[in-house]
Structure 1
Amino acid sequence: MKNIRLSRRTLLRGLGALMALPVLEQMEPRVARAAEPGSAPRRLAVFYVPCGLYMPNFTPRGSGRGWTLSPTLQPLAPVKDDVLVLSGLSHEPGRPDEFGHHAAGTGAFLSCVKVVKTDRQDGVRAGVSMDQVAAKALRPHTRLPSLELGNDGGDGTGSCDANFSCAYARNISWAGPTSPRAKETNPQAVFDRLFAGFDPDATRAQIERRKAYEQSILDFVSEDARALKQRLGARDQRKLDEYFTSVRELELRVAALDQQAPTCSKGPRPERTEDVREKTKVMCDLMVLAFQCDLTRVATFMLGNARSDRVYDFLGLTSGHHTYSHHQNNAENHAALAKIDRWELEQFSYLLQRMKSVQEGEATLLDNALVYFGSEVADGNSHGHTDMPVVLAGRGGGAVTPGRHVRYGGQPIANLFISMLDSVGVDVSRFGDDGTGPLSQLKE
């Protein structure tokens, strides 16, 4: 090992581009590398799916370590030992007084604060979401406090569900009662935000020149990278090569999205249509890369907006998701929901496997993170807010013992969020409308 010490914020620079590096051995204190496997950064991630899930197919049999994957959870088989399924948790702040369960549940999804019913933009009132509480505390450690991603766009104007503002239906991340953190739905823009365009010395001409010549960000930092590699030990050199390879592959995939997405028929202001399968995976890859190079430690992803009626034709379905979710105990609707729910869990499993593939010392990125999977309601037909579909993945650096199914008796999800915040060093005793303390049984 070369006798040098690298800053955790070491960057590669070239022709107006900056690239953050993954966590290398020579960025960590030598004592910590040898004696403290838990010294890597802690991360929080959220994976939201709309319209609830068909709970009979979701809830596993057995509890503790003697549980079996349900039909919907089968895609989690490769990471079964890395997940906790938490049954019996409630989310009462997401319950509206009458109608509008999807928007109300999504608006309170991460804040556990009952939203004010309004379709006026100036009347919106929500709570600060769990991810933003973490982002505020972790802000000094990373360039980006948080990353908000999603597949579906739309602003916060108008009514999206029973006179509830679209701001509630289209955002899960809230910096304040009137301040939703709008998600980015363009993978190219996310990529540029993470890996380019943030050099204060870069000019617009330099950025455009890179795009015009279709050059990789790596091309701009290659000379800097070669000089750095000469100063690294063999293990760090291999890790740097793997990281650059993953960035290069993602660049190609992001660029391919622009070329492969079919366009709508001719008409006024035609819009692009996007393949949700490829786009979801690219967004997951972007989250992993953002964590890997410690650009942020907090990220959220919305697979779809609340009450999404996306038609999953590639699953052989002809009606929309929200339509099927009102299944009326119809067997055909149950079968359709089973296909959609399983596909959603496949995407979640993809994210977890990507995180597990990133080595951080003796642990993995997934070991050092907690990833929350959930929806705004339980069963979409009854719009339930008790016994919510909840999966918690990762170990949070030792805060959680996964590989189990834990049953609760109605404890609030807000208590889970208190525990998740504690895993990244944020100490809160209460959270939201009904959070009273850390959730029990997360660690054996």
Structure 2
Amino acid sequence: MKRLPLSRRTLIKAAGLAFGLPPLEAMLGATSARAATPAPKRLVTLWGGVSIGCDQSTVAANVNIPATVGPNYTPTGGLKELTLQGVQKDVAVLSGLSIPYDTTSPAGRFVTDGDGFHGSTMLPSLAGVKGTNSGNYNTSGKPSADQLFASTVTTATKFKSLVMSAQPQGYGMPLDAGRHFCSWNLQGQNVAAFSQPQTLFTALFGTGAATTDPAAEALRTRRKSILDYAAGQTSRLMSKVGTSDQKLLQQHLDEIRSLEQRIAMIDTSACAQISPPAAVPTSADSKGQESNEELRASLMTDLLVHAFKCDYSRAASFMLTWMQCFMGGQRVAGDGLDLHQMGHNLGDWTRIGAVVGFHVRHFARLVSALKATPDVDGKTMLDNSAVVLLFDAGHGLDHFTGKQNQTHSSDNMIALIAGKSNGLRTDKGHVVATGRHPGQVTLSAMRSLGFTGALGELTSPVAELMV
């Protein structure tokens, strides 16, 4: 067959749109390239204001630290929620983490009284700076991970970072301790959190939901059906090129059809109209009360995922519970004590597992939702995100009292991380990372998204997560 010379600028046109052709022999060796649609990178940090253990006079196995390691580990305690939510294989659990108890180590902590412990761990974990018993007020002038990552995003979004708290009040915790903050801007100033689902909805979507522009919708419709519009042109072109070019052209058309199908999936879910959440009552602000934080966390998770679909933000800091959490445990763990006192007075590992499980459950729900949501590049949102869950305390030596097996300890801490961007190794299951800093897990999440700087005083990610 005589080949028809084609210009490298040859396009197939239909319905006011056009798509280019792949490099064909008929183009006389010309080259072309197609740029894939880049997907947004997203960072979420979550915080649980509890210890993963309980005070013990003797050594006891911690149910919230798996006894086995590697990708096939057996989740125990609160980590069972990963299996229940279907995301165990998508999450790496790091144990053996610690925050140094001195003022010279990077992102160390130092307290002068036992109660001040709870103001000393969040800043090292989320901002990579030192924590003291001055409460959770950031005196370093350094930002938290969400704000630091958001500052590198060049695309304008409605919110640089969405800062949220499922716990709406302190339940007797005075606000002057600053323990209701989980985000600090580029100057190290406290960023207030949305603590009511309805308020968060209004801030994101106004009094109604996201609307669709008719002209943009018409354009999307035409784009989705461009191959059908162009069927006649493609058939004529097929008859004019050689066999090898026909194969290349057919492969190209198949790829476009696949892209159309992905666009169709995305368009049915991206920024679609949603209804505002119902009001969730807030209880009395006294110790041991609760305000259905289970429902609040679920609603806020759903709103966060929808905000990501609408590209209203690329970062979030989500405080599931305040540090030194005085929230009542009846709904979460079946006990009337507040979550903080459960760690000190209960000595019940089953209920401690349930307390940790509350936090893991909502982390896992978010991971599952991101995994189920198509992204603009044909992957899932989880493929282009990094999600980290950190806790207020581990279980071990209380440096102030000298006692072992205590909740006031920054030894034997755990962190959970999910996401697959840039080869983040969340497929390793349970990783024993003895001596690593929880803030290094946060930095690992940031590095997987293309961030190249330091997190406060921390400069190195967890190596096992990056290879």
TM-score (norm 1): 0.74
Corresponding residue of 1:90 = 98
The alpha carbon displacement at 1:414 in A equals 3.3
Corresponding residue of 2:8 = none
1:79 equivalent among 56, 79, 87: 87
The alpha carbon displacement at 1:80 in A equals 1.3
Are positions 1:439 and 2:445 aligned together? no
CA distance in 2, matches of 1:286, 1:89: 31
The alpha carbon displacement at 1:288 in A equals 1.0
Range with bigger deviation, 401-410 or 72-81: 401-410
Question: Which residue identity does 1:289 align to in structure 2?
Answer: H
The alpha carbon displacement at 1:116 in A equals 5.0
Is contact 1:60-1:405 (8 Å) kept?
yes
Is contact 2:44-2:316 (8 Å) kept?
yes
Corresponding residue of 1:337 = 352
CA distance in 2, matches of 1:337, 1:301: 21
CA distance in 1, matches of 2:363, 2:374: 19
Corresponding residue of 2:50 = 51
The alpha carbon displacement at 1:3 in A equals 6.5
Are positions 1:240 and 2:267 aligned together? yes
Corresponding residue of 2:157 = 142
Is contact 2:417-2:441 (8 Å) kept?
no
User: Structure 1 residues 288, 244: closer, same or farther in 2, change over 3 A?
Assistant: closer
CA distance in 1, matches of 2:169, 2:140: 19
User: Structure 1 residues 2, 286: closer, same or farther in 2, change over 3 A?
Assistant: farther
The alpha carbon displacement at 1:244 in A equals 5.3
Secondary structure of residue in 1 paired with 2:383? coil
Is contact 1:415-1:439 (8 Å) kept?
yes
Range with bigger deviation, 176-185 or 280-289: 176-185
Corresponding residue of 1:386 = 411
Range with bigger deviation, 224-233 or 351-360: 224-233
Secondary structure of residue in 2 paired with 1:171? coil
Corresponding residue of 1:190 = 200
Question: Which residue identity does 2:62 align to in structure 1?
Answer: P
Is contact 2:136-2:181 (8 Å) kept?
no
The alpha carbon displacement at 1:362 in A equals 3.8
The alpha carbon displacement at 1:442 in A equals 0.8
Are positions 1:110 and 2:120 aligned together? no
Corresponding residue of 2:334 = 316
CA distance in 2, matches of 1:3, 1:366: 34
C-alpha distance after superposition, 1:90-123 (max 9, x if no partner): 22324524331112223433112124544798x9
Question: Which residue identity does 1:103 align to in structure 2?
Answer: G
Is contact 1:129-1:175 (8 Å) kept?
yes
CA distance in 1, matches of 2:135, 2:65: 35
The alpha carbon displacement at 1:403 in A equals 4.1
CA distance in 1, matches of 2:148, 2:217: 39
2:392 equivalent among 360, 365, 376: 376
Is contact 2:92-2:429 (8 Å) kept?
yes
1:31 equivalent among 5, 30, 34: 34
Is contact 1:291-1:297 (8 Å) kept?
yes
Corresponding residue of 2:448 = 423
Secondary structure of residue in 2 paired with 1:72? helix
The alpha carbon displacement at 1:374 in A equals 1.0
Question: Which residue identity does 1:326 align to in structure 2?
Answer: H
The alpha carbon displacement at 1:181 in A equals 1.2
C-alpha distance after superposition, 1:37-68 (max 9, x if no partner): xx422111011111121371111132222422
User: Kindly, what percent of the aligned residue pairs are identical?
Assistant: 23
Secondary structure of residue in 2 paired with 1:49? strand
User: Structure 1 residues 437, 107: closer, same or farther in 2, change over 3 A?
Assistant: closer
- 1:3-402, aligned counterparts within 5 Å? 4=17, 31-33=34-36, 39-54=38-53, 56-77=62-83, 78-92=86-100, 93-99=108-114, 100-115=116-131, 117-118=133-134, 124-125=139-140, 127-153=142-168, 165-167=176-178, 169-176=179-186, 178-196=188-206, 216-217=208-209, 221=212, 223-224=214-215, 226-233=217-224, 235=261, 236-243=263-270, 247-248=273-274, 251-252=275-276, 254=277, 257-258=278-279, 261-262=280-281, 274-314=291-331, 315-327=333-345, 330=347, 333-360=348-375, 361-379=377-395, 381-402=406-427
Is contact 2:373-2:381 (8 Å) kept?
yes
The alpha carbon displacement at 1:396 in A equals 2.2
CA distance in 2, matches of 1:356, 1:402: 14
User: Structure 1 residues 226, 377: closer, same or farther in 2, change over 3 A?
Assistant: same
Give the paired residue count: 372
Question: Which residue identity does 2:93 align to in structure 1?
Answer: V
**Structure exhibiting the larger radius of gyration computed from Cα positions:** 2
User: Structure 1 residues 30, 354: closer, same or farther in 2, change over 3 A?
Assistant: farther
The alpha carbon displacement at 1:225 in A equals 6.1
CA distance in 1, matches of 2:330, 2:319: 20
The alpha carbon displacement at 1:399 in A equals 3.2
User: Structure 1 residues 417, 313: closer, same or farther in 2, change over 3 A?
Assistant: closer
Secondary structure of residue in 1 paired with 2:70? coil
Gaps of 5+ in 1: 6-28, 197-210, 266-271
The alpha carbon displacement at 1:441 in A equals 1.0
CA distance in 2, matches of 1:119, 1:413: 19
Gaps of 5+ in 2: 1-13, 19-31, 54-60, 101-107, 225-259, 397-405
User: Structure 1 residues 91, 292: closer, same or farther in 2, change over 3 A?
Assistant: farther
The alpha carbon displacement at 1:241 in A equals 2.1
CA distance in 2, matches of 1:397, 1:378: 29
Secondary structure of residue in 2 paired with 1:345? helix
C-alpha distance after superposition, 1:174-230 (max 9, x if no partner): 11565011111122222222223xxxxxxxxxxxxxx5xxxx435x54745653443
Is contact 1:171-1:182 (8 Å) kept?
yes
Give the RMSD, CA atoms, in angstroms. Answer: 3.2
CA distance in 2, matches of 1:2, 1:53: 60
The alpha carbon displacement at 1:308 in A equals 1.2
User: Structure 1 residues 3, 60: closer, same or farther in 2, change over 3 A?
Assistant: farther
CA distance in 1, matches of 2:15, 2:193: 42
Question: Which residue identity does 1:299 align to in structure 2?
Answer: A
Secondary structure of residue in 1 paired with 2:51? coil
TM-score (norm 2): 0.71
The alpha carbon displacement at 1:417 in A equals 3.2
Is contact 1:117-1:124 (8 Å) kept?
no
Question: Which residue identity does 2:190 align to in structure 1?
Answer: P
